[in-house]
Amino acid sequence: MVSNKKSRGRKKFQYHVDKKKVAKKARKLPNITCPAIKNNWRTNLSASQNLKVMGLVYDSNKSLPVSSKTPTGPENPEPTTVVTELEKESSAPRTGTMRMPKEKVKWIEYLLEKHGEDYEAMARDKNNHYQETAAQIRQKIKQFKKRPAYLVKFMRACGKLPPSTEPVTE
């Protein structure tokens, strides 16, 4: 018959673990990049308690229960200052910061200089190392033209735009 007692393993001391360092890491504050959350963070509260005070959700599974039979609280609670700051920040328009690799830009500039708008010739070009189709090249050139920092620089180099003293930034 089996014994009712739990069997416990032998306790082993881990010499390779620095317990002081582990404890210090556990006490260390998280690196918060969002200024709205960083300003309202309280060091004496845990992460879940801090987010609850700010009106944010720590665990999405607990905030949206599976059974909707029991009411969980007010439908539209008053937004806190942190929530209003975050909503304001998210609704603000963003500037496009998408960049393209330098080699891709050089390749597209080469294709536009040599072939103009003839995408079929671009697809057959000897420098089309990845054997991209005309449609794929057309899409890459479309993305290139959406970014004024690259397009204006290329147009000035070709002589289609007069040189300007103001730099174009994206």
Please state the domain extents for the chain.
Answer: 17-62+81-87, 102-158
pLDDT in tens, 66-108: 776 666 665 667 888 888 998 998 888 877 667 899 999 999 9
* 147 or 74, higher pLDDT: 147
Helix axes 134-146, 102-115, angle to 10 degrees: 110
Least confident of 17-21, 85-89, 104-108, 116-120: 85-89
For 156, residues 6+ apart whose C-beta sits below 8 A from its C-beta are 162, 163, 164
What would the two tokens of residue 83 be? Answer: 């929530």
For 153, residues 6+ apart whose C-beta sits below 8 A from its C-beta are 168
Predicted confidence at residue 109, as pLDDT, reads 95
Q: Is the pLDDT of residue 54 over 70?
A: yes
Q: What is the CA radius of gyration of the chain?
A: 29
Contact at 8 Å (CB) between 107 and 127? Answer: yes
Predicted confidence at residue 73, as pLDDT, reads 61
What's the average model confidence in pLDDT over 45-72? 82
SS3 165: coil
